[in-house]
């Protein structure tokens, strides 16, 4: 399935957010996720299905002012 | 005396950013030297397999400080609101330093977008720290939305110019006596921070002036001292300026007074 992860078109086998995290080696990272500009809480990653064309943002802490 | 941010008391009146330091170690040392109990952070995309966010987050957690995430770089209400929601999920805090930028060259806040986004977030349970200009009416609208903290700029972010509109900041302090007011952005020297505190501002927030100093750790300490001095001066009650001289040494008994040559 083609999805867009952090602005890049990506082909994944995963069918849900939890699967995507594992497939793309994000598993041990402190992160938050939005799909199509909606935040998906960590507790709902496994039950949130992916759809072709979804825009997924995978976000972690950074320096800021 | 402590300063209050949404019901939580803090001893330090200096909030400090975590960006632009020469190294992570110097960042940690500078934050410790500043005495700050609140640091600002951001959130950014992580590449697959990346650990950049985790490494940074470990450093912050070692400092045992409160975290104020920002929406830096957001230019629309929707971007800012979604970024705030991501920040709440990521950092587990309702605090958000709300930035909605209106102009790319000056990074001047967009007052219309800011007020709209603040309204959405306050209704959604966030505790918003809006970054705004010195415009009084915008600040009043933010207060009316329930913002207990408002953060007007001194000058554009990273400009090191210091307070460019002192009268407007004085006016905002006078008109919003019950809001926790923080001068955020544009401070370049410890004296700028002291000036903000002498105006009665509750705290200052800065980043670049410390991070880009020749010795960030020493500069962090200098800002800490300046903030404390400025606050102490404000609490001591500054005398007002006068148009003409007024001798400090007693006039009565001056030798040769009325002496005729």
Strands (E), chain B: 3-5, 8-10, 14-17, 38-45, 66-69, 95-98, 127-132, 149-152, 180-184, 203-206
CB contact under 8 A, B42 and A31: no
Question: Which tokens go with A29?
Answer: 């990272």
Q: Which stretches of chain A sit within 8 Å of chain B by CB?
A: 5-7, 24-26, 28-34, 37-39, 41-42, 57-65
Q: Taken in order B42, B38, B85, A39, is the CA torsion positive or negative? A: positive
In a domain, A7, yes or no: yes
In a domain, A50, yes or no: yes
Q: What share of chain A is helix, strand, coil (3-state, %, to 5)?
A: 15, 40, 45
What is chain A's mean pLDDT, rounded?
A: 94
To the nearest whole Å, the CA of B137 is away from the closest chain A CA by 25
Domain that holds residue A13: 2-59
Residues of chain B found within 8 Å of residue A6, distances taken between Cβ atoms: 45-47
Return the minimum-mean-pLDDT range out of B175-179, B204-208, B210-214, B249-253: B249-253
Quote the ipTM score: 0.92
Q: In chain B, whose CA is at the least distance from the CA of A35?
A: B82
Vertex B128: Cα angle to B126 and B129 (nearest 5): 155
Three-state secondary-structure class, residue B138: helix
| Domain at A49, CATH number | 3.10.20.30
Q: How many helical (H) and strand (E) elements, i.e. helices and strands, does chain B have? A: 9, 10
pLDDT (mean) for B175-180: 98
The stretches of chain A forming alpha helices (DSSP H) are 17-23
pLDDT (mean) for B174-197: 97
Return the minimum-mean-pLDDT range out of B91-105, B124-138, B240-254: B240-254
Three-state secondary-structure class, residue A3: strand
In a domain, A13, yes or no: yes
pLDDT digits (tens, 9 = 90+) for B216-248: 999 999 999 999 999 999 999 999 999 999 989
Percentage of chain B with pLDDT > 70? 99
What is chain B's mean pLDDT, rounded?
A: 96
pLDDT of B251:
86
In a domain, A33, yes or no: yes
In a domain, A64, yes or no: no
pLDDT exceeds cutoff 90 at A37: yes
In a domain, A34, yes or no: yes
pLDDT digits (tens, 9 = 90+) for B134-171: 999 999 999 999 999 999 999 999 999 999 999 999 99
pLDDT of B223:
98
In a domain, A65, yes or no: no
DSSP bridge partners of A62? B42
pLDDT of B261:
59
pTM: 0.93
Number of A–B residue contacts, CB under 8 Å: 116
CB contact under 8 A, A58 and B46: yes
User: In this structure, how many other beta carbons lie within 10 angstroms of the beta carbon of residue B201?
Assistant: 29
| Domain tally, chain A | 1
pLDDT of B260:
62
Percentage of chain B with pLDDT > 90? 90
pLDDT of A29:
74
pLDDT category of residue B259 using cuts at 50, 70 and 90 = low
In a domain, A44, yes or no: yes
pLDDT (mean) for B24-52: 95
Judge whether B101 is closer than 8 Å to chain A, CB to CB: no
């Amino acid at each position: 399935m083609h999805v867009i992860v952090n602005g890049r078109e990506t082909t994944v086998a995963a069918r849900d957010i939890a699967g995507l995290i594992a497939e793309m080696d994000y598993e041990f990272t402190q992160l938050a996720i939005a799909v199509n500009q909606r935040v998906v809480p960590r507790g709902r990653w496994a039950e949130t299905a992916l759809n072709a064309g979804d825009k997924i943002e995978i976000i972690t802490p950074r320096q800021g002012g | 005396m402590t300063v209050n941010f949404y019901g939580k008391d803090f001893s330090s009146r200096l909030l400090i950013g975590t960006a632009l330091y020469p190294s992570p170690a110097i960042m940690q040392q500078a934050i410790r030297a500043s005495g700050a109990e609140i640091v600002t952070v951001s959130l950014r995309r992580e590449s697959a397999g990346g650990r950049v966010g985790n490494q940074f987050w470990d450093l912050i957690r070692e400092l045992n400080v409160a975290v104020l995430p920002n929406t830096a770089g957001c230019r629309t209400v929707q971007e800012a609101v979604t970024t705030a929601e991501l920040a709440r999920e990521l950092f587990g805090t309702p605090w958000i330093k709300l930035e909605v930028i209106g102009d790319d060259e000056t990074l001047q806040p967009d007052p219309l977008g800011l007020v709209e986004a603040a309204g959405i977030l306050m209704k959604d349970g966030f505790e918003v720290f809006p970054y705004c200009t010195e415009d009084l009416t915008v600040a009043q609208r933010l207060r009316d939305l329930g913002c207990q903290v408002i953060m007007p700029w001194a000058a554009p972010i990273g400009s090191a110019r210091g307070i460019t509109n002192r009268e407007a900041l004085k006016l905002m302090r006078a008109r919003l006596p019950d809001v926790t007011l923080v001068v955020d952005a544009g401070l370049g020297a410890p004296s700028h921070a002291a000036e903000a505190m002498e105006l009665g501002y509750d705290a200052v927030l800065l980043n670049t002036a410390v991070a880009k100093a020749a010795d960030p750790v020493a500069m962090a300490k200098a800002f800490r001292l300046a903030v404390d001095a400025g606050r102490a001066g404000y609490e001591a009650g500054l005398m007002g300026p006068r148009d003409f001289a007024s001798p400090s040494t007693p006039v009565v008994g001056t030798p040769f007074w009325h002496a005729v040559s």
